[in-house]
Amino acid sequence: MRKSALAVLYSGVALTAATAFAQNASDTASSVAACGLCGTFLFIPIVVIVLDVLLLVWVARDAKARGLDNGILWMLLVFFTSFVGLIIYILARPQGNLIECPNCHNNRFQAAVRCPHCGA
């Protein structure tokens, strides 16, 4: 199920539960509980989406720092498969120590003869 569909599902469940609580509410405590429940179900998908965006940004930056030309493809893999794609990326990416290039100040592998960013 896609992330946006999951967010709509959570929102629908939250609004249904809040409506049910509010219709049966004769006191303020039930109304407050309904608002809290609705806020929780709306907050969870937002947190998941923010974490996914941060994960995509990290994959893109890490792929660029390691000199991979296909960083966009790795981002798409992680976007569509989430944590499974992240594990595949971590296992498939080039391993080694990253150091700063003295010429362009981007990260490069310590064992690399030339910097993938500036060619120096």
CA 100 to chain centre: 27
User: Per-residue pLDDT tens for 13-72?
Assistant: 555 555 555 555 456 666 666 777 777 777 888 888 898 889 999 998 888 877 777 888
In a domain, 12, yes or no: yes
Q: How many domains does the chain have?
A: 1
In a domain, 103, yes or no: yes
Residue range(s) defining the domain that contains residue 79? 3-109
Distances (CA, A) of 81 to 3, 72, 86, 99: 11, 14, 8, 30
Burial (CB count <10 Å: 0-12, 13-18, 19+), residue 38 = buried
Task: Provide the 3-class DSSP secondary structure of residue 48.
Answer: helix
Question: In 1-120, which residue ranges form alpha helices assigned H by DSSP?
Answer: 3-24, 28-65, 71-81, 83-92
In a domain, 119, yes or no: no
Q: What's the confidence (pLDDT) of residue 103?
A: 82
In a domain, 70, yes or no: yes
In a domain, 120, yes or no: no
- Fill in the DSSP letter of residue 51: H
In a domain, 100, yes or no: yes
In a domain, 115, yes or no: no
d(CA 30, CA 41): 17
User: Per-residue pLDDT tens for 71-100?
Assistant: 888 888 888 888 888 899 889 887 777 788
